[in-house]
Structure 1
């Protein structure tokens, strides 16, 4: 019986090639979208799960409110790990990571350095906690001694070529020389942090034992069966026993008094497998994603697949009249409804299997493009892993059953006598269900259109909003410390070049980087209630004009005032937190040691207008500028029309003054935009799948329009005989569909409004979703629907009525 079903199904599919192609293509596009999004979701959910002990590894987070700053950080004090291991039997091991950003690295004795990113100091227990296989070296001893380093296979190839790196030395920033004691496999891409260099923690020049400094990413390995939520209760004891005494030394008050004043210190564990998608902390080792995107994309995948299945139903019922007599004949010859259902379901499943094959081809062809817009390294091989292979095999069967169930039961229910007499009326039968399917399709399409518009408007708002500084035409030379004592001379040489307006040497620029807050106190009031937790940036006289910042009060640093070495400029937020009514001339103190015994006092000479120095997801915090020699970055405001030529001139000066050091530059505007690449990628992905969803929905609407036009052929013929114009007939046939689209818009609007406002909550500075966004989305949906339906409507309206009425 099954063989007969398949033979007849193949015959019918060949007979109706156009219908078969449209149906298979629609299903294939829907399945391809679903599989692409599945690849994305699988990759997101697999982050950090390659570690053998992943389900027992947790990171210590710090939540601190102090000096007007509410900080939620992914770092904790350096004694945290050793103390937890010593005091609590539930802790099996720990490891600390100290990220040190980008360094210049070269082989010992070589001149040329390579710019290497994400250098990390790590404890010798690194390989006991994480699964990072070594291809050379002993994991138990690799990072025990100071001045040792474990590198990845990629780094080994970059630095040593085909030579054996073991035992050879690398020089970091011309300061630290480390011996290679291990080579590890490259870390997987789906890790919440990645590096090619782990340097022994004992090589880090750090003042250890500071409970009030949070600079280390601390990971603990809990023993089997330990509930991390219950373990979190132990941090209160840690605070009272270890943090409290340093608070007393530092501020002269107890933890209880600190909390009574509205400040806070707390710690908690987060599962390592939750970090990539669920961590909202700052100072991460690498940017994270968001679980919301997984939910959104998963929903989009399901909806697109449902839309494709709905298309199948509509297109199948659109051809029902052509198969009505076939059903009647089969029933007269003895076929029962069960057999007819089996026949139609076989056709549906066969088309679904063919669609799955085409979908896999589409996925294989489009994965490179999808990787570009999603910043992933996905491969189609991930779909054929043993865990997912059963899903891949069952999916076409499920889709075939889902898509073919309604047409099968619908077509098999025809009465043979009515059908063979030509009296079957299919126009109103199940009209409610078909209308509901169209409403659902366009409801999802409108939601996707609105979502895409809001995402792009928010990104445009970010890129065009007034930041408090001028980010365009600012050329930044990174790793200026490679110039050593020639940094100032380099700046002066570049200023002589045509097209260079001004330049500045500074510790930081107003883009995210590894920074930390320090407390400032009103002079003579070393009181935690009066402290302001602030960013402290070392700048020179030209920093504010080079970046185009504006002064709200007072003046900028000036070479005419020798006392400016003890001057400070606050931003408006800092002034507000201090409570200064007249800030000019006020004196503030900065602590220079951890014991609270050495201070330096500064006089406020100016107030700079607030500027955004971090993502617009966050409110503007406190910032203070002070004069200090710094070689973190050198920036130049340029006005040259030939930027490539100017960059070559700057590079030539660099090569002359820093031989062997890589020349690395960027534009401040690009660095700022990079903060929002995740949102840009989401916008591109949503836009792509929105277009595909609309395309698939239009196929379904096309099918339903064909069905309705086919069922009203004689009505249209009668109307034309009685004098109806083609325009009126097109309006008649289009009116019902446009009503369904309008209903879809009414349902989609509040859903989209709620969803997009939830997404915008992540931004401290965001757009208001205007009414016209919903209006534009509605108009787009109506136009698309009208164009789709008009093709069939015009075709029916122009049909010769003689052909439709000759049988009457």
Structure 2
């Protein structure tokens, strides 16, 4: 019986080549989109799942409410973790991690700089899974001054992992470490990707005060198998209160939370969070897009199959007369749909292979699909194709198998109004999806344009930034500044603790008493940055009230501050000059400017010189230089030359600030491009189905059009007649799509602190674009039908 169904399916496929091609092409493109999006979604959802005991591994986080501020951070003091582990038996293992940028040198080779060197406890190898190449990870930190390298760094430093084992390695020109193991490079689908792991005791010896007193360590714990994370965090505050003796959280309420390691990547980035992050909302959006694309492709098949019901009515009638049951007819039509879907799958697999390199470049991923080493891939794809065949073939099968043979064979059968209305409803769904995706794509483009054009409150032009990382470089800052200013291509130079980068936690903060307008004082958490007086002129940030800081006034180092306009608004000051913040007084107000991307609002903060004794330390480590536009290349070369001459211990890392800000939006721009491509493909699939439907509709009305032409109808009138129904459907689709698109775009734009308004013209434009494409699609076939000679059509009547 199945062979018979397949033979009939093949005959129908060959007999109706145009409609078969439309269906196969639509399903193939739909499957290709779904497979690519599934690979993307699977990669996003599988971050950190490769760890052996991932279900038991969590990152410790804290929510601190202090004065009038609340923040969630991943940083803790070093002594908290041993105390927690000792007091809470549910914690099986715990490790502290400290991120650093370090220089590494093997023998007399060239120094290598890495931004991803982590100090860690030996227990890290019992918590996180790393694949050893050489060496034993269980004893890797058994000896002092030990370091574990990844394959990439081992190859760069020693040519091969085997040659690296047991060799000495200089860290920051301070410590000689021993390479005790080499691991495979950490998989790309990990939120933490260290290039090297150093025994934490090395940092404890190098900076004992910082190790003991400062909250600077992120913490990962492995819980016992039956331990409850929710029950555990309720016990932590008591332990914290017992052992916390430092000033960092004095007067604060601290709550703990545990984030499962495989959830961290898609969670909202926290303060001082160095790991990479995705977007959970985007994953859900792409899931919806994949489903909608498949539905649009299935609707094409449904519409064309039911529209051609008259052509197959006699076939159904004859089969019923000779004894076919309705269930047999349903099976036949379902087999036809599944056969088309499987043919489309073969084509889509070829398209996926062709498109995957481009999609990887667009999404900045390394997605692969292996049909041999991953045995479930082929069954999953075949299952998907069969499901799509069942989905798209079920409705036409039910409609066609319900025909009454008596009416069909007497020629009294005609298309039902109910069937026509169902097809119209499905077309409305397709158009609605297309319009929603056009609106969303345009809104993303407008927001990206808005971000590029919005003024940030400082002059970005030719502003060059260099970062120092080694504490000892701070002693050379003043000399370096003078050397830089002697070059004619460098007009201004300043150094500050302000990072001007999309990073959470570069500001310092303390609880201070702030004078209100009525003279009362209130305790508040105050964020501050250290600057030099030339900061405001170099950055192009005007001081709108009061004066600048002055290094010639001894009191300005500890008793004077400049606040931004957001700070003035927060405390509702009418006359901010002279107001007291802690022990310092406000001497000036600077104009608001953005220190981070437009994802965040401008926060209230203050700027000060800081204590004079701090000048030799690596606090004001971010150098900003205003370059002359005619000597940019020469100026950068001069900056590098000075860097080399002073034998600075950090890698040269200069970049223009406008380019740095642009990088903050690269992920959204990539996602916008992905969304644009899949929007266009959705429209293509929908218009493909519309073309087939319009072609069949014109074919069915050929005689009617012939009669109208004989009676004097013009080509324009016939075009209007054939297009009128589709125009009405686009208008109905627009009414449905507009509020849905508005909701989704409003939700997406909530992620930006500063966003472009959603203008009515976006919706009108989307509707007009969809209408224009639909008219062009319908008109192509309608013009051919309208130009047919009526004599040829009516000569047999």
Q: Same fold (TM over 0.5)?
A: yes
Determine if contact 1:534/1:621 at 8 Å carries over to the other structure. Answer: no
For residues 533-612 of structure 1, the aligned pairs below 5 Å read: 533-558=525-550, 561=553, 564-566=556-558, 567-576=560-569, 582-586=575-579, 588-589=581-582, 602-612=584-594
Deviations 1:363-396 (A, max 9, x none): 1111111112212110122897345543222111
Determine if contact 2:30/2:297 at 8 Å carries over to the other structure. Answer: yes
Determine if contact 1:515/1:535 at 8 Å carries over to the other structure. Answer: no
Deviations 1:527-552 (A, max 9, x none): x9844434433332322222211212
2:66 is aligned to 66
What is the CA distance between 1:307 and its match in structure 2?
A: 0.4
Deviations 1:449-502 (A, max 9, x none): 121122222222222222222223212233375966554444444434444332
What is the CA distance between 1:573 and its match in structure 2?
A: 3.4
Matched, 1:768 2:750: no
Residues 501 and 313 (structure 1 numbering): CA distance in 2 closer, same or farther, change over 3 Å? same
Residues 468 and 241 (structure 1 numbering): CA distance in 2 closer, same or farther, change over 3 Å? same
Secondary structure in structure 2 of the residue aligned to 1:515:
coil
Residues 207 and 715 (structure 1 numbering): CA distance in 2 closer, same or farther, change over 3 Å? farther
Take 1:95 and 1:284, find their aligned partners in 2: how far apart are those partners? Answer: 16
Secondary structure in structure 2 of the residue aligned to 1:140:
helix
Determine if contact 1:317/1:707 at 8 Å carries over to the other structure. Answer: no
What is the CA distance between 1:318 and its match in structure 2?
A: 4.6
Take 1:456 and 1:524, find their aligned partners in 2: how far apart are those partners? Answer: 45
What is the CA distance between 1:585 and its match in structure 2?
A: 4.3
2:502 is aligned to 512
Determine if contact 1:77/1:214 at 8 Å carries over to the other structure. Answer: yes
Deviations 1:614-640 (A, max 9, x none): 233333223333334556232222232
Aligned length: 781
Stretch deviating more after TM superposition (636-645 or 193-202): 636-645
Residues 143 and 468 (structure 1 numbering): CA distance in 2 closer, same or farther, change over 3 Å? farther
Stretch deviating more after TM superposition (646-655 or 764-773): 646-655
Determine if contact 2:371/2:378 at 8 Å carries over to the other structure. Answer: no
Matched, 1:178 2:169: no
Deviations 1:257-291 (A, max 9, x none): x4xxxx63221112122111134523222231122
Determine if contact 1:138/1:182 at 8 Å carries over to the other structure. Answer: yes
Residues 159 and 529 (structure 1 numbering): CA distance in 2 closer, same or farther, change over 3 Å? farther
2:612 is aligned to none
Matched, 1:436 2:422: no
Residues 63 and 703 (structure 1 numbering): CA distance in 2 closer, same or farther, change over 3 Å? same
Determine if contact 1:503/1:634 at 8 Å carries over to the other structure. Answer: yes
RMSD: 3.0
Deviations 1:406-465 (A, max 9, x none): 333444445556556665433745011111111111111111112112222222222222
Question: Which of residues 364, 373, 397 in structure 2 aligns to 1:408?
Answer: 397
Residues 646 and 366 (structure 1 numbering): CA distance in 2 closer, same or farther, change over 3 Å? farther
Take 1:222 and 1:158, find their aligned partners in 2: how far apart are those partners? Answer: 37
What is the CA distance between 1:564 and its match in structure 2?
A: 4.1
Matched, 1:57 2:57: yes
For residues 223-262 of structure 1, the aligned pairs below 5 Å read: 223-243=224-244, 246=246, 258=251
Secondary structure in structure 1 of the residue aligned to 2:461:
coil
Stretch deviating more after TM superposition (579-588 or 292-301): 579-588
For residues 270-419 of structure 1, the aligned pairs below 5 Å read: 270-327=259-316, 330-331=319-320, 335-381=324-370, 385-414=374-403
Take 1:384 and 1:698, find their aligned partners in 2: how far apart are those partners? Answer: 38
Take 1:37 and 1:401, find their aligned partners in 2: how far apart are those partners? Answer: 22
Secondary structure in structure 1 of the residue aligned to 2:265:
helix
Take 2:534 and 2:423, find their aligned partners in 1: how far apart are those partners? Answer: 69
What is the CA distance between 1:687 and its match in structure 2?
A: 0.9
Take 1:537 and 1:132, find their aligned partners in 2: how far apart are those partners? Answer: 39
What is the CA distance between 1:87 and its match in structure 2?
A: 0.6
Stretch deviating more after TM superposition (697-706 or 71-80): 71-80
Take 1:206 and 1:297, find their aligned partners in 2: how far apart are those partners? Answer: 47
Question: Which of residues 113, 117, 126 in structure 1 aligns to 2:124?
Answer: 126
Secondary structure in structure 2 of the residue aligned to 1:552:
strand
Stretch deviating more after TM superposition (410-419 or 231-240): 410-419
Take 1:145 and 1:762, find their aligned partners in 2: how far apart are those partners? Answer: 47
Secondary structure in structure 2 of the residue aligned to 1:621:
coil
1:620 is aligned to 602
What TM-score do the two structures reach when normalised by structure 2?
A: 0.91
Take 1:534 and 1:103, find their aligned partners in 2: how far apart are those partners? Answer: 31
2:192 is aligned to 193
Matched, 1:10 2:7: no
Take 1:461 and 1:185, find their aligned partners in 2: how far apart are those partners? Answer: 43
Residues 384 and 334 (structure 1 numbering): CA distance in 2 closer, same or farther, change over 3 Å? farther
1:47 is aligned to 47
Secondary structure in structure 1 of the residue aligned to 2:394:
helix
Secondary structure in structure 2 of the residue aligned to 1:781:
helix
Determine if contact 1:478/1:632 at 8 Å carries over to the other structure. Answer: yes
What is the CA distance between 1:353 and its match in structure 2?
A: 0.9
What is the CA distance between 1:235 and its match in structure 2?
A: 2.5
Question: Which of residues 135, 138, 151 in structure 1 aligns to 2:136?
Answer: 138
What is the CA distance between 1:662 and its match in structure 2?
A: 4.3
What is the CA distance between 1:724 and its match in structure 2?
A: 1.3
Determine if contact 2:515/2:580 at 8 Å carries over to the other structure. Answer: no
Residues 264 and 610 (structure 1 numbering): CA distance in 2 closer, same or farther, change over 3 Å? farther
Stretch deviating more after TM superposition (530-539 or 354-363): 530-539
Stretch deviating more after TM superposition (306-315 or 123-132): 306-315
Secondary structure in structure 2 of the residue aligned to 1:150:
strand
Take 2:183 and 2:496, find their aligned partners in 1: how far apart are those partners? Answer: 36
What TM-score do the two structures reach when normalised by structure 1?
A: 0.89
Secondary structure in structure 1 of the residue aligned to 2:216:
strand
Residues 479 and 53 (structure 1 numbering): CA distance in 2 closer, same or farther, change over 3 Å? same
